[in-house]
Every structure is written in C-alpha cells, then in structure tokens.
Chains A and B, each alone.
Chain A
Amino acid sequence: MSKYLKTVDSEWFRQRLTVVMLCVSMAALVLVVRLIFLQIVKGQEYRRMSLNNSIRLQSIDAPRGLIYDRHGNLLVDNRPSFDLYISLKDARPVEETLGRLAMHASLPQDELVERVAGVRGAAYYRPQLLKRDIGRDALAVVASRRYDMPGIDFQIQQLRNYINSGLAAHLLGYIGEINTKELQQDVYADSRPGDLVGKFGIEKSLESYLRGERGGRQVEVNANGQVVRVLQTVPARSGQNVYLTIDRRLQQRAEALLQDQAGAVVALDPNSGEVLALASSPAFDQNDFITGLSRDKWNALINNPLRPLNNKAIQGEYPPASTYKIINAMAGLQEGVITENDIIFCPGHYRFGNRSYRCWRRGGHGSVDLNKALAESCDVYFYQVGQRLGIDRLAWYAKAAGLGAKTGIELDHEGRGLVPTADWKQKRFGIAWQPGETLSVAIGQGFNLATPLQMAAFTAAVANGGVRYRPTLVKRVVSGEGDEILDNTPRVVGRLPVSAANLALVKKGLWEVVQGERGTARIARLKGTDISGKTGTAQVVGREKLEESEGGATVRKYMDHAWFVAYAPSEAPLIAIAVIVEHGEHGSSAAAPVARELVKTYLEGAPSDPVVAADAGDLGHG
C-alpha cells in the first residue's frame, strides 16, 4: 500500500476529483438551461400543443411500381381509391358518429362498429381504416358532412388496377393485406399492419422493387382532429417499374386458346430463355382480390375442380409422355446404343419378361428407324432404346435436360417434377426397381413427372442447338425517375449433353413430326413456316381401367392429358412452346393446334381464325 502512496497521494486525487466535479456541474448547468428554455421560454407554446395532443403522424403511401409487357404495354397500374378513416379519440361518442356515417354514406353500421371494436392503446389515437374504396358518391356525401362527424376523415389511396382483367392472372399475381407471419420476415421489415403487399406471382416475387418507400408528415391538428399545420414532410418514393418479357398479344392469344379447358401454355424465346407467354387455365380475375372477394366467389374459386388458383404452367406436374422420347433419342444416340440407321421391328407390342408392352398403334409400325420412330412416336422402338440404356443412364440425361429440378423462374411454388431412378424408388418405397418399369419411363410414363415450364425450357434448348437458359419473366426494372435498376441478361445454366451431329438427327425427326408425310402432328402445319415438335399423350389411368369405362360414356377425368412441345421456324427458331391440355386426349388433336396458332400469332403478328376442332380423319397419336 505504502508503495502506491509514494507516487500518488491524496492531494493528487483531490485535484483530479475537483476537475471531475467541475465537469459534472457544467453538465447539470446545461440541463437546467435547457429546461428553462423548454419549460419557461417555450412553455406556453408547448402547453397549447399538449392540450389536444395535437401532433400527429400521417403516413404517405408510396405508389406501387407499374408493370409493363416487353413492348411497353401497360399491364398493371394504380387507380385512386377513397378510404374512410376514423380517429377514435376525436370521434367520441364513437357509436353515434358511426351511426351518422352509416346513414349518410349508406354503409352497414355493424361492419363499421366491428372494425373499431378491439382498438385500444396507441392505435386509439391514430386514424383507423374504416372502409376502403367507398366510391365517389359516398365520398361526396362524407366530404360535405364532415363537420357533423368529428374524427371521420378520408384518404386517397392508390389501388392496384389490373388493366386487362384476368390477363396473366397467375403470372402477375395480386396484392393483399400483409399478414402476421409476413410481418415477422426480414423482407417486410419496413411494412406495417394494414399494408398491401404482393401475395402471388410477380407482385410477390418482385415485391422489393415494386413496393417503394413510404413517406409521412408530422402535422398539427385542431380539436376536431383536422389538420391545421404541416410541420415536416418526408416525401414517399414510388416503387420501381417492371418490364416483363411477356408479349401481351401472345399472352392474350394463349389464354383465348385455352378457354374452357384446363391446361397450360408456356412460350419462350429459345435464344434467351425469356418467357413470351405463360398461361394457365382456368384463370381468375385479380381485380376481385383488390376490391375484396365475396365469400361465395372465394368458395367458387377454391372448390372449382379445375383449380383456377393453381398456376399449372409451373406447378402442374404431369407425366411428359411421348415428349420424353426426345430425351430418350438423344441419350440413345449419344451413348451409342442406337445409330441413325438401326432398324427395330414394331409388331404393335413388345414382349418383356412375361408381359407384353403395347405400342399405341396396335397394328404396329413395321420397320422403324430413328426418324420414323420420332415422327410416328413408335413406343416399341423407344422401349428397346430405354432398355438398352437402363434407368440410371436415362435419368442422367433427363436431369441434364433440366427435368427433376426447379428452373429458377421468378415465381413461387414452382414444381420440380420427378426423374425416377432405381435409388429413388428404393428410398421412397423400399422396393427394388423392376426392369419393366424402365420401359414405362422410356416413353415418359411411369413415375416420370415434368412441368410445362420444364418441357418448354428443354424444347428451347433443343431448338437453339443445346444451350439451356434459365427461363425468366423480367426484362428490366426502371426507377420512377427513369434510372435503370436492373437489366436482366440471359443466364446460361447448362448445355444438353449431346453432340451437334446427334442433336441434328433428333431435330430432323422433330421436323418430320409436323412436316413429314406420316408425322403425328401434321395438324400443326402452318403455311410458310416450318414447325418442329413432338406430341404426347399422358395416361391418367391404366389402359384397362379406361377401357372398362369406355363401355359407357367416357368419363372426362379418366381421359388422357394432351402434350405438344414445339419450336419454329425449324431452321432458325424464334419461339419454343409447351402446351398441355388436361384430359385433352391426344397431343395431336388438342394441344398441337394451340401451338400452331401461337406460332402464327407470334411470327405473323396477326391473330388467325379460332382453333378448329380436331379433324377426326387426320388423327395422329402421341
């Protein structure tokens, strides 16, 4: 102890403590001076402001960004909506005020009362939303009787407006009030209860661009809650405008072609992966979600067996059926199990183990080479190619073609489809792979599942010579001031594992499907433009069951799904398409004409005649 005292003594500490006391006294003095300023100099003014708690915050909502198609046609904008608000503190007695409001504006009083029933705490002093979008007539009445109804106010809010009602409903999506679960997520950190946020489709996935930044005002209000002075304002920043890759005219055409059917269409630009059209049928009207959906309408939507709320283009998982033969042919050539000229004889069935596997043409195709096998979609040919490849090699090529994985398009709820392997089956069911199952898989049946988007993306890769692009819906994002925020460039995600020579052989077969003498999709021919494609007919139930039911009237829900994938023009493709029509029976009759019309619309730039019902005499088969 004494050692320390040699160097510092209490006198040294005393000096330093004196300085500390001086500092503390200075700080206290500053606080007292500040109190004199606040409480005595400005006291009267603050007392007045405090009398009716007169400083309020008002938020200024940011207009949501607009959505355009690739050519700058406006698809989604905002329209003004007049919303009624109530400041409960100023509206006392609340019941009476609401009664008068209900009478003047002819609104249901119960609904208004219910809306403010549970409001207490801080919210009691802030304006509460009573009713959205009351319309101009009601607004006029409310505005002229405001002094009769203290605490009642209206605000003009921007309401989302889908210009072509129902167009691209699944793709654009809709917005709605934020829910508690979303409020806890980081993405919505700046959002508050009651905010409208994207709920589905592009509105949801591009929320952060579209939303903008809320502003606000500090205002002084009088005893009736009316603004007498604006103290400070922070302007809102409007959301950013989004240009989609879709072509409005093509989208409209696609939806018209699917009218009254359940199905989906995806059209891509094969040279960039940009989605030109993405339609799912039946659809719904997004504007219903904005103005409030009645319980009946909602029930009708969710109980509809054709699942209108489901985006079949990305969520629908179907057996790819004969469209899968493109992959099978690619794999067979590349692995050397077949060559262009190898001939397989098709008697109409193929015996394997103790079972007979049928070709769709009972009479058989006779001698079949690769070209004929693709053009006429011979099952027996592809049974044998698949058998030579084995399930795991087939699966490898299917995965390399993008099946069994999400494409990464900017939409939620995308399905991954399924590429079955022996391992997968063992894990999933605990049963070993049966060699016969490889045969089903080889013609795209069995456990195989793919979404229309996956098939379109694969077709695009075949069309452009093997480059797999990530399908995208967003062309660019531009700020309200016109600055480029995002310029979406094509993103290559892989290449088809096939040599140029082998791919050319496959493409020749696909050309034959439409343009050849005996092709299964001659119905898709278009004057002046060569189209290449492949039909598919996905079984919904086993053939035995279907035949059973054929005794009576054919039950629609047992009927096959019709596929058609195509690209055009064959030589230098500008568009790749996948079409599925649920229970459309044959790819050729139900799906191929849709693709033909879309090619025509896109390439010729003019709408053509309505689709003619399939000509029964000209039926091919998937």
Chain B
Amino acid sequence: MVDRRYLTYFDWGLLALTGMLAAIGLMTLYSAVMAGVPTPQEALFTKQLVWYGIGLVAMLVCLLFSYKLMERYAWLIYSGSIVLLLWVMFFGKYIGGSRRWIVLGPVSLQPSELAKIAVIIVLARYYAKYVSGRGFTFKSLQVPVIMTLVPFLLIVRQPDLGTAGLIGLIAASMTLFVKIEKRTLWFILGSGLAMALPMWFFFLKEYQRQRILTFINPDRDPLGAGYHIIQSKIAIGSGFLTGKGFLEGTQNALSFLPEQHTDFIFSVLAEEWGFMGAVILIFIFLIFIFWALNIAYSCRDPFGTILAVGITAMIAWQAVINMGMVMGLMPVVGVPLPFISYGGSSLLTTMICVGILLNISMRRFMIE
C-alpha cells in the first residue's frame, strides 16, 4: 500500500510552481490565439487544455513507480525511443518538409520529445554507475557519446536541428556536471577548435558560411529570420514597463509575430504584461530551476541526483534558448518555451519531467 511518508514528503512547492507556470501559459496562449487575430483559433486553446489534462495524468502515473525502476529499465526505455525514431523516419507524417510526427487517430506525437527523456535516463544510469571525484576520461566517455549520438543523428535527419541540438546540450551539461577529467576536457575543446577552424576556412563553401553567419546573426537576413526578430523585438519593446494589458497586444496579430502561439509566445506575454510580467515569468522559472536542483541535492542516490540535474538542464536550456531567441540574443531555432508554448508533445514531456522530479523528491527518505 501507499506509504504514508510519500504524502509527508510530497513536494507541494514544485507542484505549486508548475501550477503557476501552467496558469501563465494558458493565459498567454488564450491571448495569442484569440486577441486581434482575424480568425480566432479557439480550438488551439481547448486542445492545449486537454493536453494539460493528459499531462497531469502522465505526471501522476510517473509517481506510481519508484524512479529507481527507470534505472533498471533504462535500456528498455532508450531502445524503445530509438525504435520510435526509426519508425518515424520511415512511416512518419510529412509536415512542412520534415518527418517528425507519428499520427495516432486525432493526436500526433513527436518521438524526438520522448528521446530527450530517454537520453537523460540512460546517461544518468551510466554516470551514476561510474561517477568518481576524478572525472570522466576520454575512454569512459565513449559509451555516453555513442548513446547521445544515435538519437541525435536520427533527429538531425528528420530534420529537426533544434531538438537535436537540445539533446546535445543536455548531454553536455550532464557530462560537465559529473566532471570531465581536466586533460580530457582540454583535449576535447582543443580538438574541437582544431577541427572547426580549417573546416570554416577550407571546407565550407561560401554560401554555407553565409548561411551559418545568418543563423548566428539573423539581422543578416532582413527578409526572413531578421524580419521575425524585428517584429518580435517590437512586440517585446512596445510592452514597456507595464504592458498593453491582457488581450490588448497589437503585434500579436498573425502577420507580425510568426508562430506567436508556439515559439514566439514569450513576445506576446512581454507585449501585454510589459517588463513586470516578463521579469515575473523569468523569476518563476528561476525558482523552479533552483527548486529542481535542490531536489537533486537532497536525493542521496547518485542516479536520482544526476537524473534530476539532466531534467533540470532540459527545462532550463529550453527556457533560456527560447527567450534569448525572441529577444534577438540567439539564433532562431525551433525550441518551445516549456509550459507556455502551444504543443502537445512538448507539454507532455515537460509534465512527465515534473512527475519524475516529484517522484525523486518524495522518495528522498528512502536512502536516509
């Protein structure tokens, strides 16, 4: 039966933070799909509500089993996600030039989202087993590199460079967290540079260099990414200190913010709620991340700690990249803002992550 201590240790704080982010997310989404738009898209809002419901259920399901089962079944979860990625490569649905979706009746899922969690779990298992204060060496990093590279390449092929890059970042963050031995670290950085420089000067063609430069600096492409960024900057900037008010955003019409309900939703929030609103959101994210890192700390089991760090890294990177992108600080990549952006697969993943964090948190007594 359910141990009473689970309730005692249940992390109501994390749940409350999640609730706040969900509330802000739904509110902003409502504005993004309903206000000032020539054709309101209520359906998107309803869909997102349903996805939150599904996410909640998934989150609760995550609590039923000890997260330690994930350590035992890490390889199963990992292989399962690879199979799904292969499946989508051959039978996935083509949308907008890429194969990312598996369609199951009325819902479509992106296996690359699941792959993110799978990589975190399998890396956490490996690192927990071999972690030592001395840091990982070149030899002991071979396995994790391969484990990351397989889903990474499959997702690059879809192509979904945003998600693939994210997996790379998460894996790198986790690896740095468990420490890379100093000489190995220098070697990796050195050889990376030694390969990148001649690549840039000798192997890339002029147009490829141009494309990369444009990616880094969207202002070079005033008709494409640069136009989206300037519209996004106008939206954010025009919010001023206190914003234009709920449902009052004017940039928030389909033509001015590209994908304003998915990747550019932060601009909608910043326009309507101004500097105050935007800073509050950043602050809540910050508390959420600190909270999650504290869960990692209080867990006395290396697997739990590293797992929690990996999950936190995922949410933190997405938040930073997404907000940095819409503010014109970073290249335009398709990374959603967790809890806020419209999108079922991404939301489901985020809620599963919250479930795993809650799971780790409420079982912390089991070690002591």
Tell me if B235 and A50 are in contact (CB < 8 A).
yes
A347 contacts B by Cβ under 8 Å? no
A-contact 0/1 string along B187-211, CB 8 Å cutoff: 0000000000000000000000000
Tell me if A4 and B302 are in contact (CB < 8 A).
yes
A47 and B233 alpha carbons, distance in the complex (Å): 10
Count of residues in B whose CB is under 8 Å from the partner chain: 58
Chain B residue nearest to A59 in the complex (CB): B223
B-contact 0/1 string along A30-60, CB 8 Å cutoff: 1110111011101111110111010101010
A1 contacts B by Cβ under 8 Å? yes
Tell me the smallest distance from the CB of B208 to a CB of chain A, in Å: 17
Tell me if B327 and A50 are in contact (CB < 8 A).
no
B131 contacts A by Cβ under 8 Å? yes
> Which of these binds chain B: A118-126, A252-260, A398-406, A420-428?
A118-126
- Please tell me which one of the listed residues A8, A28, A39 contacts residue B237 in the complex, with CB atoms under 8 A apart: A39
- State which residues 340-376 of A face B: CB under 8 Å: none
- Please tell me which one of the listed residues B179, B226, B278, B309 contacts residue A35 in the complex, with CB atoms under 8 A apart: B278
Tell me if B250 and A45 are in contact (CB < 8 A).
no
Tell me if A24 and B236 are in contact (CB < 8 A).
no
Tell me if A13 and B236 are in contact (CB < 8 A).
no
Tell me if B253 and A125 are in contact (CB < 8 A).
yes
Tell me if B235 and A218 are in contact (CB < 8 A).
no
- Please tell me which one of the listed residues B236, B256, B296, B297 contacts residue A39 in the complex, with CB atoms under 8 A apart: B236
B-contact 0/1 string along A167-178, CB 8 Å cutoff: 000000000000
Tell me the smallest distance from the CB of A228 to a CB of chain B, in Å: 16
Tell me if A4 and B131 are in contact (CB < 8 A).
yes
Decide: A24 near B222, CB < 8 A? Known: A7-B131, A50-B250: no
- State which residues 297-312 of B face A: CB under 8 Å: 297, 300-302, 305, 309, 312
Tell me if A45 and B309 are in contact (CB < 8 A).
no
> Which of these binds chain A: B19-27, B48-56, B113-121, B316-324?
B316-324
Chain B residue nearest to A27 in the complex (CB): B320
Tell me if B254 and A28 are in contact (CB < 8 A).
no
A30 and B235 alpha carbons, distance in the complex (Å): 19
A14 contacts B by Cβ under 8 Å? yes
> Which of these binds chain B: A15-23, A437-445, A464-472?
A15-23
Chain A residue nearest to B240 in the complex (CB): A43
A30 and B323 alpha carbons, distance in the complex (Å): 11
A25 contacts B by Cβ under 8 Å? yes
Decide: A55 near B238, CB < 8 A? Known: A4-B131, A35-B279: no
A216 contacts B by Cβ under 8 Å? yes
A-contact 0/1 string along B233-255, CB 8 Å cutoff: 11111111100000000110111
B274 contacts A by Cβ under 8 Å? yes
- Please tell me which one of the listed residues A43, A46, A57, A121 contacts residue B241 in the complex, with CB atoms under 8 A apart: A43
Residues of B within 8 A of A53 (CB): 250-251, 253, 255-256
A103 contacts B by Cβ under 8 Å? no
A55 and B283 alpha carbons, distance in the complex (Å): 32
Residues of A within 8 A of B302 (CB): 4, 8, 13
- Please tell me which one of the listed residues A32, A49, A123, A233 contacts residue B234 in the complex, with CB atoms under 8 A apart: A49
Interface size bucket, A side? 35 or more
A35 and B275 alpha carbons, distance in the complex (Å): 7
Chain A residue nearest to B132 in the complex (CB): A7
Residues of B within 8 A of A14 (CB): 297
Tell me if B133 and A24 are in contact (CB < 8 A).
no
A294 contacts B by Cβ under 8 Å? no
Tell me if B38 and A124 are in contact (CB < 8 A).
yes
Decide: A20 near B234, CB < 8 A? Known: A31-B327, A50-B250, A120-B38: no
Tell me if A20 and B235 are in contact (CB < 8 A).
no
A-contact 0/1 string along B127-144, CB 8 Å cutoff: 010011100000000000
Chain A residue nearest to B275 in the complex (CB): A39
Tell me the smallest distance from the CB of B312 to a CB of chain A, in Å: 8
Residues of A within 8 A of B149 (CB): none
Tell me if B296 and A13 are in contact (CB < 8 A).
yes
Tell me if B179 and A16 are in contact (CB < 8 A).
yes
B8 contacts A by Cβ under 8 Å? no
A8 and B256 alpha carbons, distance in the complex (Å): 52
Chain B residue nearest to A43 in the complex (CB): B240
A611 contacts B by Cβ under 8 Å? no
Residues of B within 8 A of A21 (CB): 290, 293
Tell me if B39 and A8 are in contact (CB < 8 A).
no
Tell me the smallest distance from the CB of A108 to a CB of chain B, in Å: 27
A295 and B234 alpha carbons, distance in the complex (Å): 48
Tell me if B132 and A46 are in contact (CB < 8 A).
no
Residues of B within 8 A of A13 (CB): 296-297, 302, 305
A293 contacts B by Cβ under 8 Å? no
B16 contacts A by Cβ under 8 Å? no
Residues of A within 8 A of B324 (CB): 30-31, 34
A185 contacts B by Cβ under 8 Å? no
Tell me if B329 and A30 are in contact (CB < 8 A).
yes
A10 contacts B by Cβ under 8 Å? yes
Tell me if A38 and B236 are in contact (CB < 8 A).
yes
Tell me if A46 and B238 are in contact (CB < 8 A).
yes
Chain A residue nearest to B219 in the complex (CB): A232
A-contact 0/1 string along B100-117, CB 8 Å cutoff: 000000000000000000
Tell me if A46 and B234 are in contact (CB < 8 A).
yes
Tell me the smallest distance from the CB of A301 to a CB of chain B, in Å: 38
Among B271, B275, B367, max chain A CB count under 10 A is at: B275
B270 contacts A by Cβ under 8 Å? yes
Decide: A8 near B132, CB < 8 A? Known: A39-B236, A50-B250: yes
Decide: A35 near B253, CB < 8 A? Known: A4-B128, A28-B282, A232-B222: no
Chain A residue nearest to B97 in the complex (CB): A189
A355 and B39 alpha carbons, distance in the complex (Å): 78
Residues of A within 8 A of B270 (CB): 35, 39
Tell me if A24 and B289 are in contact (CB < 8 A).
yes
B213 contacts A by Cβ under 8 Å? no
Residues of A within 8 A of B365 (CB): none
A12 contacts B by Cβ under 8 Å? yes
Residues of B within 8 A of A32 (CB): 279, 282
Chain A residue nearest to B313 in the complex (CB): A20
Tell me the smallest distance from the CB of B262 to a CB of chain A, in Å: 15
B231 contacts A by Cβ under 8 Å? yes
Tell me the smallest distance from the CB of B68 to a CB of chain A, in Å: 11
Decide: A218 near B240, CB < 8 A? Known: A13-B296, A121-B254: no
Residues of A within 8 A of B256 (CB): 53, 125
B84 contacts A by Cβ under 8 Å? no
A40 and B302 alpha carbons, distance in the complex (Å): 45
Chain A residue nearest to B239 in the complex (CB): A39
Chain A residue nearest to B250 in the complex (CB): A50
Residues of A within 8 A of B39 (CB): 120-121
Tell me if B222 and A231 are in contact (CB < 8 A).
yes
Tell me if A20 and B293 are in contact (CB < 8 A).
yes
B227 contacts A by Cβ under 8 Å? yes
- Please tell me which one of the listed residues A28, A35, A231 contacts residue B236 in the complex, with CB atoms under 8 A apart: A35
Residues of A within 8 A of B255 (CB): 53, 121-126
Tell me if B128 and A234 are in contact (CB < 8 A).
no
A234 and B39 alpha carbons, distance in the complex (Å): 32
Residues of B within 8 A of A121 (CB): 38-39, 254-255
B230 contacts A by Cβ under 8 Å? yes
A46 and B275 alpha carbons, distance in the complex (Å): 13
B-contact 0/1 string along A117-155, CB 8 Å cutoff: 000111111100000000000000000000000000000
Tell me the smallest distance from the CB of A489 to a CB of chain B, in Å: 26
B91 contacts A by Cβ under 8 Å? no
Tell me if B226 and A232 are in contact (CB < 8 A).
yes
A12 and B236 alpha carbons, distance in the complex (Å): 41
Residues of A within 8 A of B301 (CB): 1
A232 and B329 alpha carbons, distance in the complex (Å): 19
A-B CB contact pairs (8 Å), 18 listed: A8-B302, A10-B300, A13-B296, A20-B293, A28-B285, A32-B279, A35-B275, A39-B240, A39-B275, A42-B237, A43-B275, A47-B237, A49-B234, A50-B251, A121-B255, A124-B38, A126-B255, A233-B222
Instruction: A38-B327, A40-B240 are known; give 11 further A-B pairs, CB within 8 A.
Output: A4-B302, A14-B297, A32-B279, A44-B240, A46-B234, A50-B251, A122-B254, A123-B255, A125-B255, A126-B255, A232-B226
